[in-house]
A and B are shown apart, each in its own frame.
Chain A
Amino acid sequence: MTNSPVLNPEANAGTPEVLRVEDLNIDFVTDAGAVPAVRGVDLQVKTGEILAIVGESGSGKSVTARTALGILAENGASRGGVYLKGKNMLTLRGHELREARGRDVAMVFQEPSTALNPVYTVGWQIMEGIRAHNKISKKEAKARAIEAMRQVGIPDPEQRVDYYPHQFSGGQKQRVVIAAALALKPELIVADEPTTALDVTVQAEILQLLRDLRDELGTAIVIITHNMGVVADIADRVIVMNQGQIVEQAPVIQLFEAPQEDYTKSLLAAVPHLGRESASEGLAERPHQDAEVLVEAAGLKVHFPGRLGAPGFTAVNEVDLKIHAGEVYGLVGESGSGKTTIGRSIAGLNRITGGSLKVLGYEMAQFKERTFKPLREQIGFVFQDPAASFNPHLTVGECVAEPLAVHRDLNPPQTRAKVAELLESVQLPAGFANRYPHELSGGQRQRASLARALALEPKLLIADEPTSALDVSVQAKVLELFRELQAELGFAALFVSHDLAVVDQLATWVGVLFRGSLLEEGLGSKVLANPMHEYTQRLIASLPVPDPREQAQRRKLIERLNGS
């Protein structure tokens, strides 16, 4: 392990240190033995600094940062020192530990909807921390809670302090969580993937908020993330972790422009960069537009009924689109935009409630499982979470053979040969057929999932966020494979994703969805370079790019867009 020397250490020499981690080692005890999670980590955080810890899943970034609050899973064993203002958080117990938590260090969690207790008002939850540390009246505590909510930019804090979490949107909930963390003015905030569960436009706002808080209050922030765009947007200094060790630490500009270690370089290379490697680059008009139309939606509507008198939810509203044979159609949108619902409707997993949707000539408005079944072999589906889309009790080979078992009449040796061939085509060794899904890594599982979807050589493939659960380096490989297979087999694909950069790399024709409506569609490179609709402009501007200098420029653009 090599720690590259931090350049210009004198720049921060005068400012005091908030957190110092020395030779931290953590092991987790499991049934199969001890699993090392963190190995020999040293790091410092200075007052007013934003330190980003990046790494892929399993790199030990969260475990390391959580020790700053003295949080360690019960089966974890730690050695070394985590000094918060001189006190070792690893050895503090009970009373002292509770003293330090909230007052000296606070935490912002990934998922704001589960970090807040749904049966208490947000004010109560912010006050809980305040009253645990100060002997003050309820009234005073409430005043401070309102103050904290004002600070994080929640409008009308006097009224909304009595609201329950479900009355806030996702982004506002995260603001409340940040308000609770800020209530006692701690010197350090540990934010564990604070924007991962949020849409990009909301993410931009939350990152702006964290940056403002640092500027105004001088709070040090440790932000844990896997998103290089977020790092480029917010961090002063970056630590790259891999397999429990620090690979490299450097100021943000230096890390992005002159990475020293091979691992960092490969990590940066794998990040999809908006506007680079566009699939539609150099195209003037829609390719394959004369080919057979496989999917045609006209005035498509999908409405989910509400419960007991509650109004329902219109997920897709008056959408018109066409997918031609051999083309990759990219559907982009934030959560709740209806992009997944469209994909599922095409596969017959949702019923449509209005308009017309023709899939391979079959009118989905008159859907009957019995009559649609013969068409199913023409449609492949890749699900978002590769871990959940395999039956845990069947081997990978059995899972991949499932479409063959349903639609083809093959004997066991033929099936085995076909499965081996399919696995080969997605670059997995044939021996994987005998393994169980949990023994494969996420990327391998998603490859197997692709093999299953392509087993019957479908004309149409629906890929619902196929890479959003994967690490970037794995994502890059899966996308590359997808591109190769598409070129080779020539199937049409509906590629659904929230990530504009990923969609642009794969799809030639891109549609942008917002609250169930298709706002605009066009050639990928055109839509992204020259968005017509105001929402698309904001969406593109909000996407952080993995380049600190360019990102600083883009930030100004968002401010202008939000201001206008």
Chain B
Amino acid sequence: MSTATLPASNKSWLDRLPVISHLRMSSGLQRGMLIAGLTLSGLFIITALFAPLIAPFDFAQSSDASGDFPRQAAPDSKFIWGTTATGYDVFSRTLFGAQTAMWVILAAVVMSLFLGVLLGLVSGYLGGWFDRIAVVLSDAIYAFPSLLLAIVMSIVISQGQSSLFGGVMAAAISITVVFIPQYFRVVRAEVMRLKAEPFVESAQVIGASPWRVMFAHLLRNATRTLPLIFTLNATEALLTLAGLGFLGFGIEPTSASEWGYDLNRAMSDATSGIWWTGLFPGLAIVLTVMGLTLVGESMNDLNDPRLRRFSRKKAKRITQSGQVGASK
């Protein structure tokens, strides 16, 4: 009971943006997790954007004016994270790796988002034979090992030879194929639930066409949980890319830097005590995945008022600082 209608629209649009609104309503441990996640993700994005400015060398540079780079050199003042067996600077490659990762995440998630949401909306609302076929197809894709599917896709798309664009797109499209069923499923389930809501029926009795109902009424209501899937899928996209690279289906080292590929090359180094070639790309993967996951999980908890916790301090501050929102 007592669902006082709280004024919400008088907040500025900035405060209503997904991540910022979450940050505002969080407290205690949940806030800590969210901030840690945001920091790591922010670091990843900044690195990706400014890699060419920060990195001392190019990702495929093995010599400069003073001659060839040493191979497998331990970290020193020039190569702060050492060099690889082919003479690349580990620090620069790790930074540029963030750029590749971001491209792949963006391309994969955006493509699967558009297709998945569209298919889910149509399939959930109209139902019928289209829905049945779409569900069977998405189940089939689910049943398929996603990495294997990604490998097949990358071979089909790039025939093993890959430039930066080709490599990124191969990875992104293969990930897209795996992700579409996820968005499809989520949106379809949400649409099926909303379909029975009075506001949809009230549009139907008015005589609104199915397309109008879908795009004017259902779309925005059905996509509430998408920022969450976005962050969680971003991590999966990154891991799939790394997996592809590690298995040798990724991007050639001369066309772009890629963490999975570097890890693969570092395998033989590890046995001979050369730790720096593997540690840094590995850490980059772990930290990026962790950052994105923390953001996603915190958003998930904060979206659900039952999972949201008020820290004792915040509760006290709110009870003492006047009564807002009581007016009805």
Give, as a whole number of angstroms, the nearest-CB distance from B23 to chain A.
Answer: 12
Q: Mark B185-204 against chain A: 1 for CB-CB distance below 8 A, else 0.
A: 00000000000011101111
B1 touches A36 (CB 8 A): no
CA distance A60 to B197 in the complex (A): 29
- A-side interface residues, number (CB < 8 Å): 50
| A-B pairs with beta carbons under 8 A, tally | 125
- Of the listed stretches B102-110, B254-262, B318-326, chain A binds B318-326
Q: Given A58-B328, A391-B221, A441-B328, is A28 in contact with B2 using a C-beta cutoff of 8 Å? A: yes
A406 touches B208 (CB 8 A): yes
CA distance A383 to B310 in the complex (A): 36
Residue A34 interfacial (CB < 8 Å): yes
B202 touches A381 (CB 8 A): yes
B203 touches A33 (CB 8 A): no
- Of the listed stretches A7-15, A372-380, A495-503, chain B binds A372-380
Residue B212 interfacial (CB < 8 Å): yes
Residue A438 interfacial (CB < 8 Å): yes
Residue A560 interfacial (CB < 8 Å): no
Q: Mark A12-41 against chain B: 1 for CB-CB distance below 8 A, else 0.
A: 000000000000000111111111110000
A406 touches B7 (CB 8 A): no
B1 touches A63 (CB 8 A): yes
Give, as a whole number of angstroms, the nearest-CB distance from A167 to chain B.
Answer: 26
Q: Which residue of A lies closest to B10 (CB)?
A: A439
Residues of chain B within 8 A of A61, CB atoms compared: 1
Of B25, B206, B310, B323, the residue contacting A406 (CB under 8 A) is B206
Q: For residues 395 through 413 of chain A, which have their beta carbon under 8 Å from a beta carbon of chain B? A: 402-403, 406-407
A439 touches B221 (CB 8 A): no
- B-side interface residues, number (CB < 8 Å): 41
A402 touches B206 (CB 8 A): yes
Residue B9 interfacial (CB < 8 Å): yes
CA distance A121 to B217 in the complex (A): 42
Residues of chain A within 8 A of B7, CB atoms compared: 32, 439
Give, as a whole number of angstroms, the nearest-CB distance from A452 to chain B.
Answer: 7
Give, as a whole number of angstroms, the nearest-CB distance from B113 to chain A.
Answer: 19
Residue A347 interfacial (CB < 8 Å): yes
Of A402, A436, A441, the residue contacting B9 (CB under 8 A) is A436
Residue A174 interfacial (CB < 8 Å): no
Residue B78 interfacial (CB < 8 Å): no
Q: For residues 74 through 101 of chain A, which have their beta carbon under 8 Å from a beta carbon of chain B? A: 74-75, 77
Residue A361 interfacial (CB < 8 Å): no
A389 touches B5 (CB 8 A): no
Q: Which residue of B lies closest to A61 (CB)?
A: B1
Question: Which of B4, B7, B25 is most buried by chain A, counting CB atoms within 10 A of its CB?
Answer: B4
B319 touches A27 (CB 8 A): yes
A35 touches B198 (CB 8 A): no
Residue A388 interfacial (CB < 8 Å): yes
B8 touches A383 (CB 8 A): no
Residues of chain B within 8 A of A438, CB atoms compared: 5, 8
A37 touches B2 (CB 8 A): yes
Residues of chain B within 8 A of A35, CB atoms compared: 2, 4, 323-326
Give, as a whole number of angstroms, the nearest-CB distance from B199 to chain A.
Answer: 5
B212 touches A406 (CB 8 A): yes
CA distance A327 to B121 in the complex (A): 41
Of A28, A33, A37, A376, the residue contacting B321 (CB under 8 A) is A33
3 closest A-B pairs by beta carbon, nearest first, are A33-B324, A376-B207, A389-B198
Q: A381-B201, A440-B5 are in contact. List 15 more A-B contacts (CB 8 A).
A: A27-B319, A27-B323, A29-B319, A34-B322, A36-B323, A63-B2, A377-B207, A381-B202, A383-B202, A390-B199, A393-B220, A406-B209, A406-B212, A439-B7, A449-B202
Q: List 13 A-B contacts (CB under 8 A).
A: A29-B314, A29-B319, A30-B6, A33-B322, A34-B324, A36-B323, A57-B1, A349-B204, A389-B202, A391-B221, A394-B217, A406-B212, A407-B207
